[in-house]
Amino acid sequence: MDVQRKLEILADAAKYDASCASSGTEKRDSSDGKGMGSTAPGMGICHSYAPDGRCISLLKVLLTNACNYDCLYCVNRASSNVARARFTIDELVKLTLDFYRRNYIEGLFLSSGIIRNPDYTMEQVVSVARKLREEHHFRGYIHLKTIPEAADALIAEAGKYADRLSINIEMPQETSLQQFAPEKDVRAIRRTMGRLRLKLDEAEDSRSAKTKAKPQRFAPAGQSTQMIVGADSATDHTILHTSANLYGSYRLRRVYYSAFSPIPDASRALPLVQPPLLREHRLYQADWLMRFYGFDVGEIVDERAMLPLEIDPKLAWALRHRDRFPLDVNRASREELLRVPGFGTKAVERIIATRRTTTIRLSDLARLHVPRHKALPFIVLSDHRPSPHRLDEARLIERFKPKATQLGFGF
Partner 1 sequence: MQYITLDTETDFEGWRKAARSLVLHHIEPRDITWAVQGGEAELFAPPAPSPILEVSDGTFNVSAKFVELAKAAILHRDGERFAILYRLLWRLKDNHDLIEVATDPDVAQITAMTRAVHRDEHKMHAFVRFREIGRERAAHYVAWFEPEHHIVELAAPFFAKRFADMPWSILTPDLCAHWDGHALSFTPGVGKSEAPGEDRLEETWRRYYASIFNPARLKVKAMQTEMPKKYWRNLPEASIIKPLIEDAERMTGAMIANAATDPHKPQKRPEAPMKRKPAADDLETLREEAAHCRACHLYKDATQTVFGEGPRSANIMLVGEQPGDKEDLAGHPFVGPAGQMLDRALEEAGVDRKKVYVTNAVKHFKFVPRGKIRLHQKPTTPEIKACRQWYEREVSAIKPELIVAMGATAAQSVFGKITPIGKTRGRLIDLPDGRKALVTVHPSYLLRLPDPRAKALEYQRFVEDLKIAAGLQKKAARAA
Which member of 81, 208, 333, 406 binds partner 1 (CB under 8 A)? 81
Interface residues for partner 1 in 127-166 (CB under 8 A)?
none
Cβ distance to partner 1 smaller for residue 151 or 272 = 272
Query: Binding pattern to partner 1, positions 290-309, x when CB under 8 A?
Result: -x------------------
**DSSP-based three-state secondary structure for 217:** coil
Distance, CA of 141 to CA of 124 (rounded, Å): 18
Q: Strands (DSSP E) along 172-285, which ranges?
A: 223-229, 254-259
- Distance (Å, rounded) from C-alpha 180 to C-alpha 74? 9
How long a stretch of residues is the chain?
Answer: 411
Binding footprint of partner 1, residue count (CB under 8 A):
95
Query: What's the sign of the alpha-carbon dihedral 323, 329, 333, 336?
Result: positive
Q: Are strands 164-166 and 223-229 parallel, antiparallel or unpaired?
A: parallel
Binding flag, residue 69, partner 1 (CB under 8 A): yes
Question: Is residue 29 a contact residue for partner 1 (CB under 8 A)?
Answer: yes
Candidates 1, 26, 49, 345: give the one binding partner 1 (CB under 8 A): 49
Q: Which of 161, 169, 226, 268 is CA-nearest to residue 15?
A: 226
Q: Can you tell me the distance from the alpha carbon of 365 to that of 368, in angstroms, rounded to the nearest whole number?
A: 5
Stretch touching partner 1 by CB under 8 A, among 122-130, 158-166, 218-226, 353-361: 353-361
The neighbouring-strand residues paired with 335 are none
d(CA 145, CA 13): 14
Q: What 3-state DSSP class applies to 355? A: helix
Closest CB 277 distance from partner 1, rounded Å: 6
Least distance in angstroms from the C-beta of 379 to partner 1: 14
Whether the CB-CB separation of 378 and 341 falls below 8 Å is answered with yes
Q: Does 377 bind partner 1 (CB under 8 A)?
A: no
Stretch of 5-13, 315-323, 325-333, 392-400 lying at the interface with partner 1 (CB under 8 A): 5-13
Q: Per CB under 8 A, does 362 bind partner 1?
A: no
Q: Which of 26, 90, 98, 328 binds partner 1 (CB under 8 A)?
A: 98
Class of residue 211 by CB neighbours under 10 A (exposed 0-12, middle 13-18, buried 19+): exposed
Q: Which of 179, 233, 274, 387 is the binder for partner 1 (CB under 8 A)? A: 274
The beta strand positions in 47-199, using DSSP E, are 48-49, 55-56, 58-62, 107-111, 141-145, 164-166
104 binds partner 1 (CB under 8 A): yes
When binding is defined by CB under 8 A, the residue of 183, 202, 205, 303 that contacts partner 1 is 183
Stretch that binds partner 1, among 202-210, 260-268, 330-338, 371-379 (CB under 8 A): 260-268
Binding mask 190-209 for partner 1 (x = CB under 8 A): xx-xxx-xx-----------
Nearer to partner 1, 6 or 374 (CB): 6
8 Å CB contact between 303 and 347: no
Binder of partner 1 out of 261, 289, 300, 348 (CB under 8 A): 261
Q: Does 38 bind partner 1 (CB under 8 A)?
A: yes
Instruction: Please answer whether residues 185 and 148 qualify as being in contact, where contact means their C-beta atoms are separated by less than 8 angstroms.
Output: yes
99 touches partner 1 (CB under 8 A): yes
Q: Which of 63, 85, 219, 244 binds partner 1 (CB under 8 A)?
A: 244
Of the candidates 211, 214, 264, 403, which one interacts with partner 1 according to CB under 8 A?
A: 264
Q: Which is nearer to partner 1, 50 or 404 (CB)?
A: 50
Confirm if 61 and 11 have CB atoms less than 8 A apart: yes
